[in-house]
């Protein structure tokens, strides 16, 4: 996010850069671990923060997919359209995550090594409104203004590629991709992604 302001960094952005460098210094001794779960399954998490960019009022999307307790695919990006509500921002983020789930499902199916990939990929979201819009579009007239391309998630769910599920906000491991968190919460989420410190394994 700070790279957006390289041409004209303000005082607040320099503070953010300093904090990022401190964080990176803490992560020089970490690595990713797989094998934390008994069943070999893909699980996805999606999240959004509403209108976090003060310059253009756009929201931040994030998703992450884990296989056997370790992250295999993730993305954090600013949405390219302005959302009117938190629900809309979360719905847009979920739509992007669903498309990634389809790609992952196709890729793993071709490998032929994970039998469970024939089932729908669980995509966890912490926003009830976004889940309802994805599952029951007829009951949500307020979603008419949302760009048509984001409604692809409904087709993906209907054909059984993805099952969108509710997750508690505190357990949504995509949270660090959309907003700054307190260190304790951030560390808990990174551990859920399979990230471990070398000292924990020595």
Task: Please give the CATH topology (third level) of the domain spanning 33-200.
Answer: Nucleotidyltransferase; domain 5 (3.30.420)
Q: What percent of the chain has pLDDT over 90?
A: 33
Q: 3-state class of 91 per DSSP? A: helix
Mind listing the pLDDT tens digit for each residue in 13-69?
Answer: 556 666 666 655 665 665 555 555 556 789 999 999 987 777 788 899 999 999 887
Phi/psi-derived region of residue 151, left when phi > 0, alpha when psi is between -120 and 50, beta in every other case: alpha
Of 73, 71, 77, which Cα lies nearest the Cα of 107? 73
Q: What tens-digit pLDDT sequence spans the chain (202 residues)?
A: 555 555 555 555 556 666 666 655 665 665 555 555 556 789 999 999 987 777 788 899 999 999 887 888 999 998 888 888 888 899 999 999 999 999 999 998 888 878 888 899 999 999 998 998 898 766 555 555 566 677 889 999 999 999 999 999 999 999 988 888 787 887 787 777 777 665 555 5
Return the residue matching tokens 């498309």.
Answer: 99
Q: What angle do CA 188, 191, 193 make, to 5 degrees?
A: 115
Query: Which pLDDT score, from 0 to 100, does residue 46 have?
Result: 96
Query: Which pLDDT score, from 0 to 100, does residue 192 have?
Result: 76
Q: In the 8-state DSSP scheme, what is residue 108?
A: H
């Amino acid at each position: 996010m700070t790279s957006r302001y390289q041409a004209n960094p303000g005082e607040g952005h320099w503070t953010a850069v300093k904090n990022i460098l401190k964080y990176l210094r803490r992560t020089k001794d970490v690595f990713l671990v797989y094998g934390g779960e008994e069943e070999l399954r893909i699980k996805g998490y999606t999240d959004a923060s509403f209108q976090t960019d003060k310059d253009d009022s756009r929201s931040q999307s994030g998703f992450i997919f884990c296989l056997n307790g370790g992250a295999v695919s993730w993305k954090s990006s600013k949405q390219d359209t302005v959302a009117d509500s938190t629900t809309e921002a979360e719905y847009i983020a979920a739509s992007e995550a669903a498309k990634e789930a389809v790609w992952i499902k196709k890729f793993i199916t071709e490998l032929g090594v994970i039998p469970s990939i024939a089932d729908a990929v669980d995509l966890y979201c912490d926003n009830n409104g976004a889940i309802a819009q994805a599952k029951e579009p007829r009951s949500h007239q307020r979603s008419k203004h949302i760009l048509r391309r984001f409604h692809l998630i409904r087709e993906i769910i209907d054909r059984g590629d993805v099952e969108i599920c509710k997750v508690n906000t505190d357990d949504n491991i995509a949270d660090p991709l959309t907003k700054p968190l307190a260190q304790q919460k951030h560390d808990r989420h990174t551990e859920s992604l399979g990230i471990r410190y070398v000292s924990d394994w020595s």
